[in-house]
Amino acid sequence: MLELTEITKSFRTGPAETVVLRDLSLRLEAGELCSIMGGSGSGKSTLMNIIGLLDRPSSGSYRIAGEDVLAAPPDKQSALRNRLIGFVFQSFFLLPRLNAWRNAALPLMYRGTPEAEARRRACAMLERVGLADRMEHMPAQLSGGQKQRVAIARALVGQPKVLLADEPTGALDPKVAQEIMDLFLEVNREFGVLALIITHDPDIAAQCPRQLRLGGGRIAEDIRRA
Amino acid sequence: MIKQALLEAIGNLLAARQRSALALIGIMVGAGAVIAMLTVGAIAREQTARQFRAMGTDILLLRADSDTGLGQLPLAETEALVGQVPGLASIAPFMLSGGPVSAEGQARSTTFLAATETLAAVARVRVAEGRFLSRHDRFEPFAVIGPQLAENLSTPYSRIRTGSSIRVGRYVFTVIGVLEPSLPSPMMPADLNDVLIVSIPNGRRIMSQASLAWAVARSTPEADPEAVGRAVAASLQPLMREQRLSVQSARALLAGLASQMRLFTLLLGAVGAIALVLGGVGVMNIMLVSVQERRREIGVRLAIGATRWNIQSLFLTEAAVLSFIGGAFGILLGVAGAWGFAQFSGWPFVLSMSAIPLGAGVSIATGLFFGFYPAVIASRLDPIVALRTE
Ligand SMILES: Nc1ncnc2c1ncn2[C@@H]1O[C@H](COP(=O)(O)OP(=O)(O)O)[C@@H](O)[C@H]1O
Ligand SMILES: [Mg+2]
């Protein structure tokens, strides 16, 4: 499904050049649930940005379902992001001035889905993540766990093939974190979406069938639970 | 999508209320200035057009000047020109002066105009009550007065009307007619609303400097007024030795006024445009701050599939909403300003049909023009950098 080959990513800061990812190769199959651990600054977010088409590697190739996506023009990449990929961030990144269902419906709006249809699907997804009674709430009126549920609904509303989560439980207390992790496990099973979860929490990582560890700019460890 | 875009734009503008209000005021003042300027221009144009319609474009004004002051037209020869000069329909020489008049203890200063009975027809003055001067009562102490003068001399106890007496120096005149109110004419050196009209022999008595320096004339409908004016001047000049005779035609005056008016409107428009540009710069400034503040939002939108164009239109919609509302208020402001001007000047208020669409179009164009740069800046943001900003 996702195929990264010999990806190198370096940043130029002033005169020095920092190599964050070095000849990293990785294959992820459709429907997998996979955690990524690694020290702070090891390049987890950088890798996720590349997978999510938000950033380009310095060299290497990246194919989604066999298609070379690095060659696509920017607007094609926007469209691919919109159709194939859903993002969940540590600090939720909901738009503060849109209510829950409008936040969740945003990817559909950018697809040109009519508002009524977008609303219906966003509400269905909010119901699925357990927010049936919070449709009209503004982000400021929601708890951290609820905000993350809206963000997950937003990531899933467009029926993406890939769900990318960058420390989705990092800002939540352990009990809520586990609830969110349960939700990831459920939606992975239910929608067959490939979920990639960056985390610092070994307990969270341990619940994923496949566990990656980033180190030295590469995949240092790749464990599949039997 | 459009509805959502509008809702979001309005929501965002409301969230940054103070900033939005500032930008709004900028656009509003700019658009208001443009509209007010154009409407005032239209009012002034309409006023002149009315004046010229009232007096006709076939009117000519003659004036004689000598080295020491006003000149003297030969009365008989001037009147005899009708019939001699082809295309000349009528001519009325007159004297002009001014001074105090009184009636029943009310004293006012007014314009004295001494003319023959032909003046009424040539200058198109109409009598509201009584009658105009006639050929037969040249030596009678009769006067015709303007309606404004009649009112000025009236008291609550005695109204000045036909039959009233008016004193001018040692002489007492009987009012035989009061004129209808008329628009001040740019071709008449006196305002016929506030005037005392007497015969030429009487004028020589009451005027300290009795110069028959003026004449109004009309050309026949098929004649070219300016050619007639030149012919009149050519016929009179030999009789007048050193004096200079100037002839002004309504048509020439009209052309001069028209170009003056164009310049005036252009100038007013320029003032409005400058105000509008200042408003536009305000919009740009505010939008740039807004882009800076909303970097993360832009990053999120890009991450969930917004295209560069989506981001651009997000900010352009805000600029458009801002300038649309600003423009709407500006139109109200501008029209109100122009209306105030009309009240103040006493000229009739006319709304130039082009002013409102022009003002609205110009303000929206300004908003979009100045909103474009911030919108492009926003759409060029790198999503990663935008998402990393806390
Ligand atoms: N846009 C950038 N410019 C310069 N350096 C960057 C940039 N993004 C990331 N880095 C550097 O790359 C390294 C990896 O960052 P990141 O992928 O965010 O690590 P993490 O594993 O903690 O998510 C860090 O040293 C960071 O400073
Ligand atoms: Mg990170």
In the stretch 72-111 of chain A, residues with CB closer than 8 A to chain B read: 74-75, 78-79, 81-83, 86-87, 89, 93, 95, 97-98, 102, 106-107, 109-111
Domains of chain A listed by start with CATH number: 29-58+75-224 (3.40.50.300)
Mean pLDDT of B106-130: 92
Q: Are A34 and A213 in contact, with CB atoms under 8 Å apart?
A: no
| Average pLDDT score over chain A | 93
pLDDT of amino acid A197? 96
One-letter amino acid of B255: A
Rounded to whole angstroms, the Cα distance separating A209 from B318 reads 47
Show residues of chain B in contact with A49, CB under 8 Å.
384
Is residue A218's pLDDT more than 90?
A: yes
Section A157-185 average pLDDT: 94
* Lowest-confidence pick of A40-49, A135-144, B86-95, B253-262: B253-262
A79 with B8: Cβ contact below 8 A = no
Percentage of residues of chain B with pLDDT beyond 70 = 99
What percentage of residues in chain B have a pLDDT greater than 90?
A: 37
Q: Which of B284, B295, B293 is nearest to B318 (CA)?
A: B284
| Tens of pLDDT, residues B306-328 | 888 999 998 999 888 888 888 88
For B384, the closest of A55, A78, A109 (CB atoms) is A55
Tokens of B372: 């474009």
What pLDDT band is residue A103 in, cutting at 50, 70 and 90? very high
Q: Name residue B377's amino acid.
A: I
User: DSSP letters of B258-304?
Assistant: HHHHHHHHHHHHHHHHHHHHHHHHHHHHHHHHHHHHTHHHHHHHHHT
Mutation target for A interface from B3, B304, B317: give the one with most A CBs within 10 A: B304
Q: What is the pLDDT of residue A152?
A: 95
Write the DSSP string, B60-92. Answer: EEEEEEETTEE----HHHHHHTBTTBTTEEEEE
Q: Could you report the predicted ipTM of this complex, rounded to two decimals? A: 0.91
The closest of A216, A174, A169 to A38, measured between CA atoms, is A216
In the predicted structure, residue B2 carries a pLDDT above the cut 80:
no
Residue B128 has a pLDDT of 93
Higher pLDDT, A64 or B10: A64
Residue type, A143: S
Query: Which pLDDT value is given to residue A75?
Result: 83
**Which residue from B305, B308, B387 is facing A81, i.e. has the nearest CB?**
B305
The answer to whether the Cβ–Cβ distance between B304 and A154 falls below 8 Å is yes
Q: Which pLDDT score is estimated for A226?
A: 67
pLDDT digits (tens, 9 = 90+) for B317-365: 988 888 888 888 988 998 898 899 888 888 888 887 777 888 888 888 8
Average pLDDT over residues B90-112: 92
Please report which confidence band the pLDDT of residue B290 belongs to, taking 50, 70 and 90 as the band edges.
confident
Dihedral sign of CA atoms B345, B348, B349, B352 in order: negative
Q: What is the pLDDT of residue B241?
A: 79
**pLDDT confidence tier of residue B57, bands split at 50, 70 and 90:** confident
Beta-carbon separation of B15 and A79 below 8 A: no
Which position has the higher pLDDT, B386 or B4? Answer: B386
Strand (E) or helix (H) holding B233:
helix B225-236
Residue A49 and residue B8: Cβ atoms within 8 Å?
Answer: no
Average pLDDT over every residue of B101-128: 92
What's the confidence (pLDDT) of residue B260?
A: 82
Residues near A149 by Cβ (< 8 Å), separated by ≥ 6? A126, A129, A130, A131, A180, A183
Ligand 1: which atom is nearest the Cα of residue A49? Answer: 17
Confidence band (pLDDT; 50, 70, 90) for B132?
A: very high
Once rounded to an integer, what is the mean pLDDT over residues A78-107? 92
Distance, CA of A151 to CA of B24 (rounded, Å)? 34
Distance CA A145, CA A148 (A): 5
Q: Look up residue B313 and give its amino acid.
A: S
pLDDT of amino acid A85: 94
- The domains of chain B are located at 2-52+256-387, 68-241
- Span B150-208, pLDDT tens digits: 999 998 888 999 999 999 999 999 999 999 998 888 788 899 999 999 999 999 999 98
